[in-house]
Amino acid sequence: MEILPATAADAEEILAVVHAAFRPVAEEYGVPTLPPLEETLADLLADMRTHIVLKAVEEGRIVGSVRAALFRGTCEVGRLVVLPEMQGRGIGAALARAIETYFADAERFELFTGHRSGAPLHIYRSLGYLPFRVEPVSDRLQLVYLEKAGKKGKRSAG
């Protein structure tokens, strides 16, 4: 597997991975849709102009992706996704480490996931991310925000 910068030519395939990864999440939480499932090609292309997007490629196919941008010293990590059939192989952790390397000068890293998303929560904690806020979205979904100090920063008190 290789992790490489994504280009606009990869957008359709990345969008398909995002949708494939989030369909089971929407089902798990019993919600009809989530913002990643409503994302369009135009939305992703717009993000690609303001964010770094990395792709995980295995045997010529995109199997995962992550995007991030730096705002006031904080690297905001989002849409870390892996195809459902490829999950559990370390691809998500490799993508998280790659984005951290790309933003080595960040003071801190921040991301979020659903409160019942056991595998992502486990991966993030194993990489040193700690919860600092929980935000209720609905009676079925709470977002858990996690952070990690960058090499140039210190973890906030939360």
Q: Which residues contact 107 (CB under 8 A, 6 or more apart)?
A: 73, 74, 149, 150, 152, 153, 154
Counted domains in the chain = 1
3-state secondary structure of 78: strand
pTM for this entry: 0.92
Q: Is residue 126 a part of any domain in this protein?
A: yes
76 — phi, psi (to 5°)?
-90, 115
**154 inside domain:** no
14, burial (CB in 10 Å: exposed 0-12, middle 13-18, buried 19+): buried
> Residue 134's domain is classified under what CATH number?
3.40.630.30
Per-residue pLDDT of the chain (158 residues; tens, 9 = 90+): 999 999 999 999 999 999 999 999 999 898 888 899 999 999 999 999 999 999 999 999 999 999 999 999 999 999 999 999 999 999 999 999 999 999 999 999 999 999 988 889 999 999 999 999 999 988 888 999 999 999 866 544 44
Closest CA to 37 of 25, 52, 28, 51: 25
Amino acid letter for position 99: I
